[in-house]
Amino acid sequence: MKRGTTALIQPWRRGLMFVLLGGMAVVVWGRAWQLQVHEQDFLVKQGVARHQRTIPVPASRGRILDRNGSPLAVSTPISSVWVEPQKLREQPVSVGQLANALSLSEQRIQDSLDAASDSSEFLYLARHVNPRVADQVAALKIKGVHLQREFRRYYPAGEVASHVLGATNVDDRGIEGMEKLWDELLAGSNGARRVMRDLKGRAFSEVEYIERERPGGELILSLDRRIQYLAFRELKRAVEAHGALSGSVVVMRAQTGEVLALANQPAFNPNAPAQRGDGSRRNRAVTDPLEPGSTIKPFTIAAALQLGVIDAADEIETAPGTFGVGRLQVRDFRDYGTLSLEGVLKKSSNVGVTKVSLEADPAQMWEVLNDFGFGRDTGSLFPGENFGVLRHGTDWRRIEQATIAYGYGLSATPLQLARAYAALGNDGVLPEVSFVRKAEDEAGGVRVLEKDVARSVRRMLESVVEPGGTGERARVAGYRVAGKTGTSRKPAPGGYRDDQYYAFFAGMAPASQPELVIVVMIDEPSGQQYYGGEVAAPAFASIMAGSLRVLGVPMDAIELPEQVAGDAGVESAL
């Protein structure tokens, strides 16, 4: 009985087994078909996401060179540390190791991880770490911690050319100076590549380049690194020697308007962490307009000659050393009596230049000063450039026409002043200022003064550095120098301070055919010496002498003048 029953049941069980196995096979086949056909794209993407990563390939920022090809700014490769937040959260012990290697607090890293979203796969922990730190991080072999190659800007000249070059931020984008102005050219464009990763997330094989990086272009500036070093050194020496608050110097080619050197004190080192709040990053020569004092007098004389209201042979009566204009008493350092126009500049007579100015129509006088670039941009395109202030002549009162004649009531930057003097040195042609090297035949410019008038004023300015002039200490052995001292009181609420000054010297050489124009400004020199002829003129002489030697400019003086010793120029008028 049992044996028969078993025989009857076995075929049923066998059939059931076949049905179950067949059903399972159908299910497996169906699932495989679903995965291979319907969900293939999704699964491929998931596999790629888990084992492939697209990583950026940073582009090297273009170099900045001086006019002779010497590097002023270059980009060097450096590593940054980034993490996959979720993976690092799963390894709390590793946070302490990472914090120690990066010299960060564990709490800071933990706060960064907490702030990252759960879906976030990328978080910077430290940018631009030095190679030693990068090696320490790599040696930890922490899952989800990676090094990324980037570039950091390096400036071989340090603080010497910092105000012209500016700086970049942590993302290697220009934020100041030439770095900012020419950022599009210098930055280039980043690339991207796809890599395979192992189970620990480490890249072990490159799949393909999605896009090649494009390095930034090179920028050749008008600066001459040799002259830039010289100008920086002599300006710093003058500021320190006179206990001054700050200072600026501009060296410009008279024919082209190219800036060969520009420096300020205090300066900053763009290779060091950013200095904030102390004013050292401000390019004072471009952004800070000042009342230029007596350095404006040559343009007052030039305007009067151009307008025909005076003649080069005219004489001006300045006795008794004062002159009333309404409620204003214009004063000279002493009673100079009768002066020629050359004498007015040589002695820096406020009375003389005021009388000359008042002979002209104010609107016409304004037009000539405006043509010289006062109150207008220089064409340099420098970020943050200030255009200064020169009110229209139709708004001038008689007192204002008088004060503008000797440098009060208008403002200009040292860069604007250098450009205006370049027009006198360039036979009346005002050049466009450039911080980028121009071609040899790319002089350009606009005529703002008749050639004969420009040369006449230039000859007058030579007398300023001759014995008895206010700028004797600006003399350069072997060269004829033409220039002007200036000393202006600093403004204060309701008037001007009696014990704080700007000291200027602006000039050119060789005067027979000027090659260079230099403007030196010293802000608030302390002590007994504060006139432009005492403070700024010696710095001008040192910078001019060195620059002319560097450029190999032939001498034009018939006799080598004696080197001036001791104090001179005490009659630099306000």
pLDDT tens, residue by residue, 456-507: 999 999 999 999 999 999 999 999 999 999 999 999 898 899 899 999 999 9
Share of the chain above pLDDT 70, in %: 83
Model pLDDT, residue 560: 46
Section 504-526 average pLDDT: 97
Section 17-23 average pLDDT: 75
**pLDDT band, very low/low/confident/very high, at 41 (cuts 50, 70, 90):** low
Residue bearing the bigger pLDDT, 276 or 407: 407
**Which residues make beta-bridge pairs with 259?**
252
Section 366-385 average pLDDT: 96
Distances (CA, A) of 57 to 133, 151, 189, 191: 21, 11, 9, 5
pLDDT tens, residue by residue, 284-303: 999 999 999 999 999 999 99
**Which residues make beta-bridge pairs with 317?**
338
CA distance 119 to 203: 21
Question: CB within 8 A of 562, min separation 6: which ones?
Answer: none
Model pLDDT, residue 388: 96
Helix, strand, coil percent values for the chain (each to nearest 5) = 40, 25, 35
Using an 8 Å Cβ cutoff, are 409 and 402 in contact? no
- pLDDT of 200 above 60: no
**pLDDT band, very low/low/confident/very high, at 563 (cuts 50, 70, 90):** very low
pTM for the predicted model, two decimal places: 0.83
Architecture of the structural domain at 225-268+283-551: 3-Layer(aba) Sandwich (3.40)
Architecture of the structural domain at 54-220: Alpha-Beta Complex (3.90)
Question: CB within 8 A of 197, min separation 6: which ones?
Answer: 50, 51, 52, 53, 203, 204
Catalytic residues: 294
Using an 8 Å Cβ cutoff, are 160 and 263 in contact? yes
Every domain of the chain and the residues it spans = 54-220, 225-268+283-551
Model pLDDT, residue 480: 97
pLDDT tens, residue by residue, 58-88: 778 999 999 999 999 999 887 777 777 777 7
Section 271-276 average pLDDT: 68
